[in-house]
Chain A
Amino acid sequence: DGGITQSPKYLFRKEGQNVTLSCEQNLNHDAMYWYRQDPGQGLRLIYYSQIVNDFQKGDIAEGYSVSREKKESFPLTVTSAQKNPTAFYLCASSSGSSGNTIYFGEGSWLTVV
Chain B
Amino acid sequence: QQQVKQSPQSLIVQKGGISIINCAYENTAFDYFPWYQQFPGKGPALLIAIRPDVSEKKEGRFTISFNKSAKQFSLHIMDSQPGDSATYFCAARGASSGSARQLTFGSGTQLTVLP
B105 contacts A43, CB within 8 Å? yes
A105 contacts B49, CB within 8 Å? no
Of B11-19, B64-72, B77-85, B96-104, the one touching chain A: B96-104
A107 contacts B108, CB within 8 Å? no
The closest CB in chain B to the CB of A91 belongs to: B43
A40 contacts B42, CB within 8 Å? no
Cα separation A57 to B106 with both chains bound (whole Å):
20
Assuming the contacts A100-B32, A104-B43, asked whether A40 and B108 have C-beta atoms less than 8 A apart, the reply is yes
Interface positions of B from 17 to 50, Cβ below 8 Å from A: 32, 34, 36, 41-46, 49
Chain B interface, number of residues (Cβ within 8 angstroms): 24
Residue B63 is within 8 A (CB to CB) of chain A in the complex: no
A1-34 near B? 1/0 per residue, CB < 8 Å: 0001000000000000000000000000000010
Assuming the contacts A56-B98, A58-B99, asked whether A100 and B41 have C-beta atoms less than 8 A apart, the reply is no
Chain B residues lying within 8 Å of A105, measured Cβ to Cβ, are 43
Cα separation A4 to B42 with both chains bound (whole Å):
12
Cα separation A41 to B108 with both chains bound (whole Å):
7
| Residues of chain B having any CB pair with chain A under 8 Å | 1, 6, 9, 32, 34, 36, 41-46, 49, 89, 93, 98-99, 101-103, 105-108
User: 3 tightest A-B contacts by CB?
Assistant: A104-B43, A42-B105, A43-B105
| Residues of chain A having any CB pair with chain B under 8 Å | 4, 33, 40-45, 48, 56-59, 90, 92, 99-107
